Structure 1
Amino acid sequence: MNLKQLEYALAVAEEGSFTRAAERCHTVQSALSHQVARLEANLGTALFERTSRRVNLTPAGEAFVRSARTALEATRRIADEVAAACGEVRGSLAIGMISSLTELDLVQVLADFHHQYPHVAIRLSVGNSEWLIDQVRGRRMDLAFIGVWPGEVITGVAHRLLAEEELVAVLPPDHPLASLARVPLAELEHQPLVDFAAGSGARRQTDEAFAALRLQHNVQFEVSDVRLVERFVQQRLAVGLVPAPIAAGFAGVVAVPVCDAPVRRLYAIWSNTPTPAATALVALLEQTLAQAPKPPSMVRLAPVI
């Protein structure tokens, strides 16, 4: 068993295809298949069930993936750990964020980080909270910024609460409810709503709020980008519910506080065994938050593991 075999087998597991795995590893499929077959022979068991359409993991393969990822990560980190012990932070840093991140100027944070640690290669991806949590748990991402509803339990990663944000109703200026100082959630029960996809963390926070009052949640338009909420409301097709800081950046709409408002919690999450680069970014994040003005929505807690 060697590191190249581990890398090839993990690529097959993640791509679900020997062809795509070979492309990802910049090798020919025959060479990759030969190395995976040798690995299976050494282990004495099949790691994959091969079908005409897809390659699936066997129970042994699933156990292999968990251990192989840890082994490869540890190997890749050796040079970075040695450099960090000598006072130099280097390597790579994979970061993720939700598209509706507030409370933090992440671009400025990354600019400050790059200035302090120019030998770290930074990669940023945008996705939903569920995908980001899975990426950090699987060690495919070092740190991510997510938003979840208050009842959601975050496990398998270190995390820090950044803020709690109440959601506000976003309405067309001429909407009958737009002139109210506060709108009861019950008044939105029969309004056409624009919201995120069912099952997503962003959607659960509104689903839970309506369900708690035994109200119907009439979502007619499901979107993946918070800016589409603004567009649907501008065109008078629906009413939206978004965090107040996001609504403040919308144009041509009115934001009204909601009685019994749904709440979103923003977290930074990272691996329980962070790389030197990730550790340095968490330290910079703490420094940035300590120096930032504290709006009323900000909640300060110690990191939780």
Structure 2
Amino acid sequence: MAAMNQDDARVDLQQMRYVVAVAETRNFTRAAERCFVVQSSLSHRIAALERELGARLFARSSRRVELTSAGTAFVAAARECLAAADRAVADAAAATGVVRGRLAVGVIVTAAAVDVPELLQRYRARHPDVHVMLRSGRSDELAAAVRDGDLDIAFLGLPEGELPTGVETVVLDHDEHVLVVPSGHRLAGAPRVELREIAGETFVDFAAGTPARAQSDRAFAAAGLVRDVAYEAGVVELITRLVARGLGVALLPSAFVRPRADGDPGLALVPVVDGPHRVECLVWSRFNPGPATRAMLDVLGVRGGSPPAVS
């Protein structure tokens, strides 16, 4: 392709959205579905853009679609342009008293300090023109996504004393872990236990290296104890099902697991005297949060960094 003078190039926002969609899905068909357009139209617009730029943005084969070096550079700038355009529309709407735009929310699977579905219901009732995107994941990944601008706000769970950096943070709740055992376990019904009493048990836990796993690992390390984690899972439901089957025991946040265990006769909870502690917190970007984010903070009752009232 012959390079074109930048002054002659004409790139519109829709072309940028198409390119970003292909870059994220690595598939022209899925990108077209995401953008609500037929694939032929999306492919045509991207091909026209490549001709204008004088560079290929994607390396294509019958099975793979990958960004070229030019495509990687284009996508990074395109994301900034699209975010700025969305922000301009949202700010203009907010000036008239209407909150519009997108709100990307991250949440850990064991969130308990805030009833997230109920919160989103209240938010939607106040701001029906905001498109809310919800993503679950690990606390460290969600905090990084907020710092990078991929998420607007996130609900995290971290070891006590380890709040994330580079974001605005409000502590929502402090919680302690309880031991989760099968109902027929020798410790079921015990008033309390210490870590040394359970160090010899087989454990079910989250994957090594995650903040959720670190809370228990550090508690055992601080007590000078070693334990055996035989099963790793990414969701609490699978952890509790493995425990109920007698395959191991687990340490889980009490505020999250207690309401679920109360209705499950196959599980019993035991307080742990020297067990892990965690803090649940709310984080959002320090960099000029948009109207949709400020509206969510208002629904939560967060003003000037003060914690909201949570049950």
Q: Whole-Å Cα distance in 1 between the matches of residues 42 and 232 of structure 2?
A: 41
Aligned length: 293
Q: Return 178-187 or 73-82, whichever deviates more.
A: 178-187
Select the structure of larger CA radius of gyration. 2
In the alignment, structure 1 residue 117 sits paired with structure 2 residue 127? yes
In the alignment, structure 1 residue 263 sits paired with structure 2 residue 277? yes
Q: What does residue 279 of structure 1 align with?
A: 294
How far apart are residue 201 of structure 1 and its match? 2.6
Q: 1:64 to 1:270 in 2, by over 3 A?
A: farther
Q: What does residue 23 of structure 1 align with?
A: 33
Q: Whole-Å Cα distance in 2 between the matches of residues 191 and 47 of structure 1?
A: 54
Q: What does residue 108 of structure 1 align with?
A: 118
How far apart are residue 66 of structure 1 and its match? 2.8
How far apart are residue 40 of structure 1 and its match? 4.2
How far apart are residue 162 of structure 1 and its match? 1.8
In the alignment, structure 1 residue 221 sits paired with structure 2 residue 236? no
Q: Match for 1:73: what amino acid?
A: A
How far apart are residue 243 of structure 1 and its match? 0.8
Q: Is the 8 A contact 2:158 2:280 kept in 1?
A: yes
Q: 1:64 to 1:262 in 2, by over 3 A?
A: farther
How far apart are residue 155 of structure 1 and its match? 4.6
Q: 1:212 to 1:61 in 2, by over 3 A?
A: farther
Q: Match for 1:277: what amino acid?
A: A
Q: Match for 2:123: what amino acid?
A: F
1:158 to 168, 171, 174: 168
Match runs of 1:229-248 below 5 Å: 229-248=239-258
Q: Return 27-36 or 279-288, whichever deviates more.
A: 27-36
Q: Match for 1:261: what amino acid?
A: G
Q: 1:65 to 1:264 in 2, by over 3 A?
A: farther
Q: What does residue 215 of structure 2 align with?
A: 205
Q: Whole-Å Cα distance in 1 between the matches of residues 161 and 217 of structure 2?
A: 12
Q: What does residue 302 of structure 1 align with?
A: none
Q: Whole-Å Cα distance in 2 between the matches of residues 159 and 67 of structure 1?
A: 28
Q: What does residue 176 of structure 1 align with?
A: 186
Q: What does residue 254 of structure 1 align with?
A: 268
Q: Match for 1:112: what amino acid?
A: R
Q: Whole-Å Cα distance in 1 between the matches of residues 218 and 60 of structure 2?
A: 42
Q: Is the 8 A contact 2:26 2:65 kept in 1?
A: yes
Q: Return 135-144 or 194-203, whichever deviates more.
A: 135-144
How far apart are residue 19 of structure 1 and its match? 3.2
Q: Whole-Å Cα distance in 2 between the matches of residues 69 and 273 of structure 1?
A: 17
Q: 1:263 to 1:47 in 2, by over 3 A?
A: farther
Q: 1:116 to 1:177 in 2, by over 3 A?
A: same
Q: Whole-Å Cα distance in 1 between the matches of residues 85 and 72 of structure 2?
A: 20
Identity %: 43
Q: Extract unaligned runs of 5+ from structure 1.
A: 294-305
Q: Secondary structure at the match of 1:159?
A: strand
Q: Whole-Å Cα distance in 1 between the matches of residues 144 and 71 of structure 2?
A: 19
How far apart are residue 150 of structure 1 and its match? 4.2
1:193 to 197, 203, 206: 203
How far apart are residue 280 of structure 1 and its match? 0.9
Cα deviation code 1:127-165 (max 9, x no counterpart):
443554455455444322122334756355433322232
Q: Is the 8 A contact 2:100 2:292 kept in 1?
A: yes
In the alignment, structure 1 residue 149 sits paired with structure 2 residue 159? yes
Q: Whole-Å Cα distance in 2 between the matches of residues 49 and 36 of structure 1?
A: 12
Q: 1:27 to 1:291 in 2, by over 3 A?
A: closer
Q: Match for 2:278: what amino acid?
A: R
Q: Is the 8 A contact 2:176 2:277 kept in 1?
A: yes
Q: 1:291 to 1:29 in 2, by over 3 A?
A: closer
